Structure 1
Amino acid sequence: MKVENFYQSKLYPNIYVIDKKNGGKADSLNAGIEYSSQSLIVTLDADTILTEQALSIVNSTFEDKDVVAAGGMVHVLQTKTSNPLRDLSLLHTNMLVRVQMLDFLKAFYITKVSLARFRALAIISGAFGIFTKQALVDVGGYRTTIGEDIDITLRIHRYISGQKKKKIVFVPEAVCYTELPENWKDFIKQRIRWQKAFIDCFIHFRFFFWKTFLTKPVSFFYIAESFLVGTIGTYVTTGIFVINSTLNPPTFSPYYIFTYLSYIFLFSLTYDLVAIGMGKHYGFTFQKKDRYRLFITIIFDIFVYRFVTLYIVMYGSIAYFFNKDWNKVARTGRNYQTDSKSAA
């Protein structure tokens, strides 16, 4: 879309604004890439707040010339305290925000840390992503799609697939905070969009995945873990449960249900505790008065939230083929730099 004008802030001279017709998120990002005069491009959501050391840590990371892209650690903005590099607070959060906070701890401190070590990081969060400008130019910029974050990460993986030394890294020490939905309507819309984006990229990059399935970790984990286990597995598990309860009621005894729920409880509890422990390993702790709230959040995560996300994965995977809407999520407009309260 046509750029109308280009402005420099008088109050903050390092800030520039591009005035252009609205061509969508990808078009805006591509305009920013084109007008940037620096070698590194940082992508941030509008409701993201960086910690003071984040950019200096990023600069240090890119001193390694083989790094072409990186993702920072993302915490939930509603849990931010006056000590954003050490404490997280659940005091002014509702249950939905708390369980998303726990979800982010698992996603970043377990999943992303693990995948990054295998060079299989498939998603750099748009809340805090860092790329070399040259890499973005070489891959042709952002594609107009419902999942720009995952798409650009996979495009760069494909771009560096023939360059053994080039890499995409995760930098957990570079911390930011981003706002998450505070009501179920916006939460479901956001997560369904994420699942649609996953399916969209699976289809768009299918030839790259199958061609490099046994040679590139990102392809192996995307197909084996994310698609077969994370998506197809939800249908299989649900199908077995429904069939057994419908066609074989005598064998579908309370003992069977108890065993199934016990497995879910033990596995999920371990996963949650390890995530909290990993957060503590990187310096983030909860106050003593948050322990009861954290305990209730874990119980809610195990017996309610995981089944909601199961539904979202199943619904979003099918809905992609009928509706590719972006599903915009409402923002609170809260000023987290000054407000003492977050979610109700």
Structure 2
Amino acid sequence: MADFALPQTIPQAMTAIGMDAPGGPEVLRPESVPVPTPGPGEVLIKVAFAGVNRPDVIQRQGFYPPPPGASPIPGLEVAGQVVALGEGVTALLPGQQVCALVSGGGYAQYCLAVAEHCLPVPAGLPLDQAAALPETLFTVWHNVFERGYAREGETILVHGGTSGIGSMAAMLGKLFGITVIVTAGGPEKCAAALRIGAAHAIDYKNSDFVEEVMRITGGRGVDLVLDMVAGEYVARNIKCLGDDGRHVTIAVQGGVRAEINMAEIMRRRLTLTGSTLRPRGNAFKALLAQEIAQTAWPLVESGALRPVMDRTFPLVDAAAAHARMEAGDHIGKIVLEA
């Protein structure tokens, strides 16, 4: 564990990213707001870096409001130093470096986190990389391994192979003996996906990913699809699944409606499921954090698992970070430096 440093005096106000109304990246602006006070079971983190994720973009567009009680400030993951403890917190100490999954508030100089949703930053892990881990690691672990039941020796298909989620799925899959096929847009992104850890990368712009999956698997199909597109992709994903396959949807970038053949679902015994992480209760996230601490975090501590990093932007340039994400040119995680 990293050495502790005594926290500095906590100011009354901080810089955070706000917006007056939903819109494009330009609506994001820095503003001065009060520093929050931790309640029971919470800690206050002096943010060093905050991760930028697709749900932040959707929130800015006005389509993903924060759940009740969550901060309206965007940002679902942070890394930094614990500077204050709420009532009942005993597992963390002031000065400790942690990363945390949060329900909002990450785009700020200080952020509240539930203590049980924090993970210790191991020595040797830079804080920018620590900030890039929680949202993707929690999401992939729950949806691929818990909800999708992926296990050693299986083959899975992951769309968006160079995104934060896609790259995390490829790396975790490789570490746990799973063959990961990804889709990506263009030869450069496909090459990057292979370097990251995917066993196969399909350029969806120049080939039919259904045909390629069947060619790669010798006609057997994959055991699991991790889908971030939905819409018309669902029917095509189902064609990629082998018998008894599982289809897990975690985003609907291609639309919220899909038309599928339910007779095929029954005949081939397919399972369709999905989830959203942000609205889940604190108890669920705490249990998920415990499982990750026991199963995946040792890989972080050993250095075997590291996030793929794209670019770092100053906190006040959050609009530029969102513009880069929406342009689709990034490979790996974008973070903000507070």
TM-score, with normalisation over the residues of structure 2? 0.26
- In our comparison, the structure showing a higher alpha carbon Rg is 1
TM-score, with normalisation over the residues of structure 1? 0.26
Bigger helix share = 1
The answer to which structure, 1 or 2, has the higher relative contact order (CA under 8 A, 6+ apart) is: 1
Bigger strand share = 2
